[in-house]
């Protein structure tokens, strides 16, 4: 069994999934033009043994206009994602760069998962 969950951290404050459009817009306003951390926790259980890990990434976001912020929220992509964005969707155009594993930002750090699975063999 494999489980993973992701959280966005801005200046020590955790940003989970927004409750609605207003909260999504507020989160995105805070993130644009800044860098923040994304942490994905991973748990694997195999034959009664468990392994856990966390993968951290720094994401640098470009400045966005109010029109761009509202337009992104209007796509609906923001509502089921930590920090109100999905790097693999339309929001990716606003990401200037990342420091770390892209797949951890998406929500499943594949290199880390592969390493954990190798521990079971």
C-alpha separations of 36 from 71, 115, 117, 118 in Å: 22, 26, 29, 31
Neighbouring residues of 25: CB distance < 8 A, sequence distance ≥ 6: 69, 70, 73, 84
Options 5, 80, 99, 119, the catalytic residue:
5
Residues 113, 90: Cα–Cα separation, whole Å: 26
Q: Is 80 a catalytic residue?
A: no
- The residues assigned a catalytic role are 5
């Amino acid at each position: 069994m494999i489980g993973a969950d992701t959280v966005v951290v801005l200046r020590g404050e955790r940003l989970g999934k927004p409750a609605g459009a207003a909260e999504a817009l507020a989160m995105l306003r805070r993130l644009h033009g800044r860098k923040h951390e994304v942490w994905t926790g991973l748990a694997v259980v195999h034959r009664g043994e468990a392994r856990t890990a966390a993968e951290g990434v720094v994401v640098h976001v470009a400045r966005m206009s109010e029109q761009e912020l509202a337009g992104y929220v209007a796509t609906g992509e923001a509502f089921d994602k930590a920090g109100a964005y999905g790097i693999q969707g339309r929001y990716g155009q606003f990401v200037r760069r990342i420091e770390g594993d892209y797949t951890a930002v998406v929500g499943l750090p594949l290199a880390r998962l592969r390493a954990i699975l190798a521990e079971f063999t």
